Structure 1
Amino acid sequence: MTSFPFEMPPGHSLVVAETTARPRVLFLGLRGIPHVQGGIEKHVEMLAKELAASGWEVEVIGRSRYLPKRASRSWNGIRIVALWAPRRMAFEAVVHTFIGVCLAAWRRPDILHIHAVGPALLVPLARLFGLKVVVTHHGYDYDRQKWGALARRALKLGEFLGMHLAHRRIAVSNDVAKTMTARYGAAVSFVPNGVALTRATADTSIVAEFGLTPKRYVLLAARLVPEKRQTDLIEAFAKCYAPGFQLVLAGGAEFETPYARRVRAMASDVPGVVLTGFQSGDRLADLFNHAALFVLPSSHEGMPIALLEAMAAGLPVLASDIVANRELGLPADDYFPLGDIDALATAMAHKLANPLSAEQVRAQVAQVEHAYSWSGVAQKTEDVYRDLLRSPRPQPREAPRGSA
């Protein structure tokens, strides 16, 4: 009981209010937020926003070249800190994460949440600093076509260290969660990506800006990287008999690569292909809302946020038949064999000729809203955090069954 060196006047009382510090989480392993291109960036942006609204003190460490030229700032109650990173694709993430872990050692958050297997290479350093670490596995990054043999080995090592040494582990895909559990004997929580519903508007300014007609274009929103396979979609569009329709590729490239140059060259050679560059916020939402069809031909996904966003916008969709896309459980005619240009062209023509009914649109939007809300994602993530904070030390588990 607290005592006071004075007496209260008769008839008066003193009420002492207890104050409890808000729990603090620091996110690391991404380019930054808000409105920065990338699936992990979108995931952290929405998750951080939900956590801040539910009472967490949230800090996001981003890379300075993707953020406004200010040392730090706040967005929706989230502290955003920009740190330097080298402009080299192979070293950007790991060097930035090293600096970020050192900053976290000084900041002392309750939770350090590292995203992706590349940044997870620094989990041992974070543990050495006495930090409580959560790692989210966003997909098998070492399968991306852009990486060479050495980078692939480093990413597999990051996966091993993250799954073996983090206090808690999360995967955005059920397949990844099960695979990690089998490979490393690790308990991995499945927490999917979410989707923010946007209401359709009559505004067609961005559609007009790019010379498009509402409901007369096919859309893909993705970075210009080989695994997104924009080239497959351009080839299929050229073969697809869909008079009056255009193909819109929304997305950019962080680094100038041979693949990005090839996409631009093919787009200039095929009539009706429009490159918008990276779009975000209301501009991207309007591109979704006025499209006739969304196509995701990728060879690699963790859990496809863009595909969920298209479904939430009520669009008919086509996706490659990779495991991550099939996890969404779409009807069979919403998938096509990966890399099969003729099958994709045929499926596109069929979808464009047979749009969804109003009832089908309502059912699809309701299903996405129920299964993939960001509030639900935040609640599941918060459960992982609180379980870790209640535990004084990592729970024992089996020795890892695999290695890098």
Structure 2
Amino acid sequence: MKPPIKPRRRAPGRPLKVMMLGLRGLPRLQGGVERHVEELASRLARAGCSVEILARQPYVERKGPHRWSGLLVMPLPAPRVRSLEAVVHTFVGVIHAARRGPDILHIHAVGPSLLVPVARALGLRVVVTHHGFDYDRAKWGRVAKTALRLGEWAGMRFADRRIAVSHAIAGTMTERYGVPVATVPNGVTPQARPTSTGALERFGLTPGRYVVIVSRLVPEKRHFDLIEAFAQGAPEGWQLAIVGAADHEDTYSRLVLSAAEATPGVVATGFQSGLALRELRAHAGLFVLPSSHEGLPIALLEALADGLPVIASDIPANREVGLPEECYVPVGDIPALAAAIARSCARPLTEAERDAARARVSHAYDWDTIAGEIRRIYESLHQNEDREPDTDGLIPIPRPSP
């Protein structure tokens, strides 16, 4: 597609001007896209890019333009209606970008990608990142699922450059739409294990003696499976910490909280960030992610970076992380999940095993390397606009089994 308005040329020596659109906002909002953008954008800014984040006004504390960690955060209107929030905000964001004229408009997720043709028609150079098959999420009805599939199509067909957070997504997009898609994954930031335990004390948790899940309260995370499996398989004296909340309170989130309250040993902490989140994850005895849908789960990568033993559902996104076979359980198989929890709790990892896991994930999913690869994709639009960069990328993540 050739846009009717010719994109503006970047003056030699001027910092690359990037706008990011498709997330709720930052900092410290729950969600994989939000965490991805927060980590990526701050590194691009430190590398000399001028980065503006187009946030959804209801999700950020400061409602006017402001600076955070070297980024310009621009809150724009968004209705607090789940089915309209993303598309309305993205439309407003595209118009804002057309007026400001960035070198790159980077749109995240398939829903906001619905507006890629509009952005191209307005003369913007557009990069899209596919974070996961959002139309497979249980919360969406038929109309929303159709719109999300249309957004995926629009993003893949009309963007200047296309990125996926996993090889599985990239391969599916290339096969489905016949376009090159670069694989650039989510990442982790290695940190020392906190010595403090204030959050554990607040929720009555004992270091090393609880199972943790960190996620939003949405159906595809399958919290009920975990609560039931914990009740069946956890050793005496262990607890389960459910860390996270719902963006929009609904029947599912209320039922999860009710089930947590009714099940002995289960604690729901609500949304946590910063040091409290670090404490709750790093001091756990086991991390579990039984979800039916993921892109490439940052929460799982961060648990591995903390050296935790993990159990994950047997889906392509989790398989791509390359865990030992015994760490995977079939989606919805509660007896298998209960047995895996009991087995893992009975055999804590040695420090050598923890160190090996930390080293592997920190090397394979390094945010600094990821930011450098994204910058290379941006620059390819200005150095040689007719040539797509190598779609294999620089990131040495394992490929899924055939």
CA shift for structure 1 position 69: 3.1
| d(CA) in 1 for partners of 2:14, 2:61 | 30
Q: Is the 2:212–2:286 Cα contact (8 Å) retained in structure 1?
A: yes
- Cα RMSD, aligned residues only: 1.2
Return the match for 1:56 from 37, 49, 61. Answer: 49
1: CA distance, partners of 2:286 / 2:385: 50
Distance 2:65 2:233 in 1: 48
When Rg is computed on C-alpha atoms for both structures, the one with the higher figure is: 1
Map of 2:290 onto structure 1 = 297
Match of 1:12 in 2: none
1:177 lines up with 2:170 in the alignment: yes
Aligned to 1:189: 182
Q: Where has structure 1 moved over 6 Å in runs of 4 or more? A: none
Structure 2: tracts of 5 or more residues without a match: 1-10, 389-402
Query: Which residue in the other structure is 2:370 paired with?
Result: 377
Output one character per residue of 1:329-387: Cα deviation in whole Å (capped at 9) or x when no partner: 11001111110001000100100010111110111000011100100110111111111
d(CA) in 1 for partners of 2:382 and 2:134?
A: 29
Alpha-carbon displacement from aligned partner over 1:203-238 (angstroms, at most 9, x marks no partner) = 011110111111111000000000011111001111
| Aligned partner of 2:122 among 112, 129, 152 | 129
Shift of 1:19: 8.2
Q: Which amino acid aligns with 2:227?
A: I
Contact 1:72–1:80 (Cα < 8 Å) also in 2: yes
| Length-normalised TM-score, structure 1 | 0.92
Kindly indicate whether residue 84 of structure 2 is the aligned counterpart of residue 103 of structure 1.
no
Task: Could you tell me which runs of 5 or more consecutive residues in structure 1 were left unpaired when the two chains were aligned.
Answer: 1-17, 396-404
The equivalent residue for 2:346 is 353
**Counterpart in the other structure of 1:316:** 309
- In structure 2, the partner of 1:150 is 143
TM (norm. structure 2) is 0.92
Counterpart of 1:82 in structure 2 is 75
Write the distance in 1 (CA, Å) between the matches of 2:363 and 2:247: 34
Range moving further from structure 2, 224-233 or 19-28: 19-28
- Which residues in structure 2 correspond to 1:163-242 (within 5 Å)? 163-242=156-235
What CA distance in whole angstroms lies between the structure 2 residues aligned with 1:261 and 1:234? 14
State the secondary structure of the residue aligned to 2:212.
strand
Whether the 8 Å CA contact 1:198–1:285 is kept in 2: the answer is no
How far residue 392 of structure 1 moved from its aligned partner, in angstroms, is 4.2
Tell me if 1:257 matches 2:250. Answer: yes
Asked if structure 2 preserves the Cα contact closer than 8 Å seen for 1:167 and 1:394, the reply is no
Contact 1:121 1:161 in 2 (8 A): yes
Distance between the aligned counterparts of 1:166 and 1:236, measured in 2?
43
Deviation per CA, 1:26-65: give whole Å up to 9, x if none. Answer: 0000001110110000000000011011110011011111
Equivalent position amino acid for 2:225 in 1 = D
Q: Secondary structure at the residue paired with 1:389?
A: helix
State the one-letter code of the partner of 2:24: R
Task: Determine if contact 2:87/2:112 at 8 Å carries over to the other structure.
Answer: yes
Deviation at 1:241, TM superposition (A): 3.8
Is 1:390–2:383 an aligned residue pair? Answer: yes
**Aligned residue pairs, count:** 378
Tell me which amino acid in the other structure corresponds to 1:148. G
Distance 2:36 2:274 in 1: 14
Aligned to 1:338: 331
